[in-house]
Chain A
Amino acid sequence: MGQWAGYLQLILDGAVVTIQLTLMGSALALVMAFIAGLGRLSRIAPLRWLATAYIEFFRGTSIFVQLFWAYFVLPLFGFSLTPLQAGVLALGLNVGAYGAEVVRGAIRSIGKEQYEACIALNLTRWQGLRKIILPQAFVLMLPTFGNNAIELLKASAVVSLISLTDMTFQAQVVRAQTGNTLVPFLTILLLYFVIASVISFAIRGLERYLTRGLDGIRS
């Protein structure tokens, strides 16, 4: 039994790396989602093209390939990243591309009458977006952002392929050392599920908090 405690510790260390990756990757994804989502709605055509190119490229290629580029190919151009940096970069950019479409869709779903009220009250486009449109749209984005964060958590397992010692990597180590597949993989199965549940729970709480007293926005 004693040896299993050591192996469990190994997997928990991996869980810490997985959580780090998920948090930092989600933060980058959120930033990218807003930049690219607003870019797609810009009046300036080159900004729209740039945002579209980013979204289509990162949605249209495999996260696996993107990660290998970040870790193995970028150094050939003089950019060396640690495995963690490469993992955060690839995951954040990949999931951010999906998030950008969520941002765009939510902003476009806010009724025309809200935009017209902004004009009638003489707000600038930016003031209207920041104070009126985005706060309402953000509530609509949250459930899908929650899904995206869970997708990111699960996709983070690919970093084990660039030797980052995340949860999946550690489970493979345990399996190799003990010859037992069931115990380590059952453990990480449960851990992934628990972390995903925490994300869902947190997002639902945030949603409830932001919709206090609100009516008529959620459809």
Chain B
Amino acid sequence: MPPSNAAPIIEIDGISKSFGAFKVLNDLSFSVAPGEKLALIGPSGSGKTTILRILMTLEGIDSGTIRVAGDNLYQMERNGKLQQADEAHLHKMREKIGMVFQLFNLFPHKCVLDNVTLAPMLTKGVARKDAEQHAMELLDMVGLADKAKSMPSQLSGGQKQRVAIARALALKPKIMLFDEVTSALDPELVEEVLNVLWRLCRETDMTMLLVTHEMGFAHDFADRVLFFDRGRIVEDGKPDEIFRNPKQERTQAFLKKIIAAGHRI
């Protein structure tokens, strides 16, 4: 458990975001302490994935501010005035953040090893030899060192997702975002991916934000759980409080539905 008095690594202050007439995020605020493992749960369309996409700069915001490690994500100061962030600023901010996607998004024309080494070599100028050595360590950590020369099309979904995790880790981000990383997997492949997340959770001090429908895993993994509904945080607390003793009616209703669907908590 990270010290609660540390300056937050992510500060989200009053952000709103609409897709057309649909307000996905409505005046949302929360902050995340360095090293904190956060689970974001809630019904689909509640805005939890959008939060991750905004942090990764895949979507912009309509209003509000976001600070990552003290720096404003979408605005920058120039000549004493706040301006819209340019590409160079976003590029610098993205160095701190890594993301793993629901559908893996591996590069299908590159072998597993090249998928992992590509970004460090291109964005940080790491020499091939060093990049490959680090990549092999990461692939070993996710249990896929023997697949280094395979193409993504030769891997199972669970293996692809583990490569995607290694690929994101290769850039050594401070913050990792996991967007429903097991939702697209066959049930028997879920565990191998969760095991990797579990190791990262125990063995690193990275800040991790996890959007998931695996309530049992969220309970064990997270220091803190945010329950989202209709673009707002309805409940924010320790896993035991949220899962065992939810205070809000909407949280109770959601968990009831999840349990009815056969998920373990």
The answer to whether A214 touches B109, judged by C-beta atoms less than 8 angstroms apart, is yes
> If A113-B105, A120-B58, A217-B109 touch, does A131 touch B118 (CB 8 Å cutoff)?
yes
Please give me the 9 A-B residue pairs with the lowest Cβ-Cβ distance, nearest first. A215-B153, A121-B119, A117-B105, A213-B151, A120-B99, A122-B94, A113-B105, A122-B123, A127-B122
Give the residues in chain B near A45, CB-CB below 8 Å. Answer: none
Within 8 A of A (CB), among B53-98: 56-58, 87, 91, 94-95, 98
Q: Is B243 an interface residue (CB 8 A)?
A: no
Report Cα–Cα, A135/B152, bound state, in Å.
Answer: 15
The answer to whether A119 touches B56, judged by C-beta atoms less than 8 angstroms apart, is yes
Report Cα–Cα, A123/B117, bound state, in Å.
Answer: 12
Give the residues in chain A near B98, CB-CB below 8 Å. Answer: 120
The answer to whether B101 touches A121, judged by C-beta atoms less than 8 angstroms apart, is no
Q: Is B165 an interface residue (CB 8 A)?
A: no
Give the residues in chain B near A136, CB-CB below 8 Å. Answer: 108-109
Central interface residue in B95, B107, B118, B153, by most chain A CB within 10 Å: B107
> If A114-B105, A136-B109 touch, does A214 touch B58 (CB 8 Å cutoff)?
no
Q: Is A78 an interface residue (CB 8 A)?
A: no
The answer to whether A121 touches B91, judged by C-beta atoms less than 8 angstroms apart, is no
Q: Is B255 an interface residue (CB 8 A)?
A: no
**Distance in Å: Cβ of B178 to nearest Cβ of chain A:** 12
Residues of chain B at interface, number, CB under 8 A = 28
Within 8 A of A (CB), among B158-210: 167-168, 171
> If A119-B57, A119-B58, A120-B99 touch, does A135 touch B109 (CB 8 Å cutoff)?
yes
Report Cα–Cα, A152/B119, bound state, in Å.
Answer: 40
The answer to whether B153 touches A116, judged by C-beta atoms less than 8 angstroms apart, is no
Q: Is A31 an interface residue (CB 8 A)?
A: no
For A193-216 the 0/1 string (1 means CB < 8 A from B) is 000000000000000000001111
Give the residues in chain B near A3, CB-CB below 8 Å. Answer: none
- How many CB-defined contacts (below 8 Å) exist between A and B? 68
The answer to whether B168 touches A120, judged by C-beta atoms less than 8 angstroms apart, is yes
Of the four ranges (under 10, 10 to 19, 20 to 34, 35 or more), the interface on chain A belongs to 20 to 34
Report Cα–Cα, A132/B106, bound state, in Å.
Answer: 10
The answer to whether A124 touches B91, judged by C-beta atoms less than 8 angstroms apart, is yes
The answer to whether A215 touches B108, judged by C-beta atoms less than 8 angstroms apart, is yes
Per a CB cutoff under 8 Å, which of B91, B94, B153 touches A216?
B153
The answer to whether B101 touches A113, judged by C-beta atoms less than 8 angstroms apart, is yes
The answer to whether A213 touches B123, judged by C-beta atoms less than 8 angstroms apart, is no
The answer to whether A214 touches B151, judged by C-beta atoms less than 8 angstroms apart, is yes
The answer to whether A120 touches B56, judged by C-beta atoms less than 8 angstroms apart, is yes
Report Cα–Cα, A131/B152, bound state, in Å.
Answer: 16
The answer to whether A113 touches B108, judged by C-beta atoms less than 8 angstroms apart, is no
Q: What would be 25 A-B contacts, judged by CB atoms less than 8 Å apart? A: A113-B101, A113-B103, A117-B106, A117-B107, A119-B56, A119-B58, A121-B167, A121-B168, A122-B95, A122-B123, A123-B119, A124-B87, A124-B91, A127-B123, A136-B109, A213-B151, A213-B153, A213-B154, A214-B109, A214-B153, A215-B108, A215-B151, A215-B152, A215-B153, A217-B108
A interface residues (Cβ-Cβ under 8 A, vs B): 113-114, 116-117, 119-125, 127, 131-132, 135-136, 139, 213-217
Report Cα–Cα, A8/B167, bound state, in Å.
Answer: 61
Per a CB cutoff under 8 Å, which of A113, A121, A213, A217 touches B118?
A121
**Distance in Å: Cβ of B109 to nearest Cβ of chain A:** 5
**Distance in Å: Cβ of A155 to nearest Cβ of chain B:** 33
Give the residues in chain B near A113, CB-CB below 8 Å. Answer: 101, 103, 105
Give the residues in chain A near B57, CB-CB below 8 Å. Answer: 119
The answer to whether A116 touches B151, judged by C-beta atoms less than 8 angstroms apart, is no
The answer to whether B108 touches A121, judged by C-beta atoms less than 8 angstroms apart, is no
Give the residues in chain B near A123, CB-CB below 8 Å. Answer: 119, 122-123
The answer to whether B108 touches A214, judged by C-beta atoms less than 8 angstroms apart, is yes
Give the residues in chain B near A131, CB-CB below 8 Å. Answer: 118, 122
Give the residues in chain A near B123, CB-CB below 8 Å. Answer: 121-123, 127
Report Cα–Cα, A216/B107, bound state, in Å.
Answer: 11
Per a CB cutoff under 8 Å, which of A121, A124, A217 touches B171?
A121
The answer to whether A122 touches B154, judged by C-beta atoms less than 8 angstroms apart, is no
Closest to A139 in B: B109
The answer to whether A116 touches B105, judged by C-beta atoms less than 8 angstroms apart, is yes
The answer to whether B107 touches A132, judged by C-beta atoms less than 8 angstroms apart, is yes
Report Cα–Cα, A49/B85, bound state, in Å.
Answer: 27
**Distance in Å: Cβ of A145 to nearest Cβ of chain B:** 18
